[in-house]
Structure formats: structure tokens, C-alpha cells
Amino acid sequence: MKWAVLVGGKGSNLQALLDHSLEVGLVISHREGVGALQVAEAHGLAHTTILPGAFGSRAEYGQALRDALERTHIEAIALAGFMRWLDGETVAAWSGKIFNIHPSLLPAFGGMNAVGQALAHGVRWTGVTIHLVDEGEDSGPIVAQVPVPVLGDDTEESLSERIHRIEHQIYGPVLKAFEAESFGVHGRRVIWRHDIEGFEGGRYAVGIDQCDR
């Protein structure tokens, strides 16, 4: 399955997806000069930067994205540090085939700076969520979640790092599970038909901090 990865940051999730043998046909960044573009370059991947500021509306930006995605015959899309909402037409065009990874246990702490939000709220657990993308913000059906402990001496940096490490572990395997039709979507509920290594019904089950400790 030919994926586009939509990026905007350092590119560590893109790198992790490549490490998990995802076939990446196109990398699109919404920001210039980010690390993710260097990762794409280093792997010889087709890549382009499409700046939202260059378009008058979200719909026009969406049209530019779709043009690039269609030209490359992209079958599915993974958001990885891409900080823009997709317009309805783009979501509809790849309906059920667009994924995002978010650094919290959604629906808690959606939107920007989820790690800072969790720390400020004083939760004992936050986590990572992989979900299907709809037109809302972090609101689509949830495919997989991993709880991550918030430690007493955690800073935004230390907690972010622990969360990113788990993101890198799980995003690739879950997208490969999508390719293998290991789960199906029924309304808001995602039903896992067969588990992949380390997961049980979309819950990461082994090798995770809270169980190792």
C-alpha cells in the first residue's frame, strides 16, 4: 500500500514508519526546512512542501494537497507532526484511510500541546492515541491507545520524550495492521479482528513502562 506521510516537525515518526517498512510514496510538509524533509531526502523519497499560507482558504489548500496525493497515486495517508486540519473533501477522498497519532489518551487533551495540558491538569496517566482522521480535531474513531505514566518529576521534555518513544514503537505496526485488514471500523468503534505483536485489541500489551516497572 502506497502511503503519503504528512509532516511538519523533526521527522522522527516518519523515520520510525520507514523503519517499520511502510511504503512511503510521498512526503508533504506544511512547513519549510523541517527535519522531516531531510529524512525524506536521506531516504530518496518524493517530497514537497505545501504552505497553507500560500492559499486563501482551507478548501484551496486541500485542493493542492489532493492534487499532489492523486498525482502520486497515494492510497492511504499518515499524519505525523502535521499541524493542519484537513478539509472535508480531502477527508472524504481518502475516507477511512487517513490516520493520525496524538500524544494523549484521547478524548483527553486534544489539540495543541497535549503533553503540557496533561502536566498542567495533574493526571497520573496520559498516553498515545492512533485514530482515524475526520473533519474534527482529534475526533475520529480510535484505533489504538497506550497509557503512559506521568512521573512526579516529569517535565514537558521528559514526558514528551517517553511518549515519542512509544509513538515510534506503535505507529508503524498499527498502519501495517491496517494494510493487513486486521481491524474494521463500525461507527465510532474499531474492532480488531486479529491482534498484532504486542497488541491486544488495540491496547499495547507488553514491554510498556507501566508493566515493566
Return residues touching a second copy (CB under 8 A). 105-109, 120-125, 127, 141-142, 144-145, 147, 149-152, 187-192, 200-203, 205, 210-211, 213
Which amino acid is present at 118?
A
Residue 32 or 212 having the CB closest to a second copy = 212
Say how many C-beta atoms besides its own lie within 10 A of residue 134's C-beta.
19
* Alpha carbons 89 and 176: distance in angstroms, whole number: 25
Instruction: Pick between residue 62 and residue 127 the one whose CB is nearest to a second copy.
Output: 127
Whole-number minimum distance, CB 199 to a second copy, in Å?
9
Q: How far apart are CA 68 and CA 3, in angstroms?
A: 12
Task: Say which residues have a Cβ less than 8 Å from residue 22's Cβ, sequence separation at least 6.
Answer: 3, 5, 78, 172, 175, 176
Question: What is the Cα–Cα distance from 133 to 10, expressed in whole angstroms?
Answer: 21
Closer to a second copy by CB, 54 or 151: give it.
151
CB closer to a second copy out of 117 and 160: 117
Minimum CB separation from a second copy for residue 81, in Å?
22
Nearest-approach distance from CB 202 to a second copy, in angstroms: 4
Q: Whole-number minimum distance, CB 20 to a second copy, in Å?
A: 20
Phi (first) and psi of residue 186, to 5 degrees: -125, 100
Nearby residues of 143 by Cβ (< 8 Å), 6 or more positions away: 99, 130, 131, 132, 174, 178, 183, 190, 202
Cα angle, residue 56 at apex, residues 52 and 61 outer, rounded to 5°: 45
Asked if 91 and 133 touch (Cβ cutoff 8 Å), the reply is: yes
Kindly tell me which of 11 and 127 has the beta carbon lying closer to a second copy.
127
Shortest gap between Cβ of 190 and a second copy (angstroms)?
6
Query: Which positions are annotated as active-site residues?
Result: 102
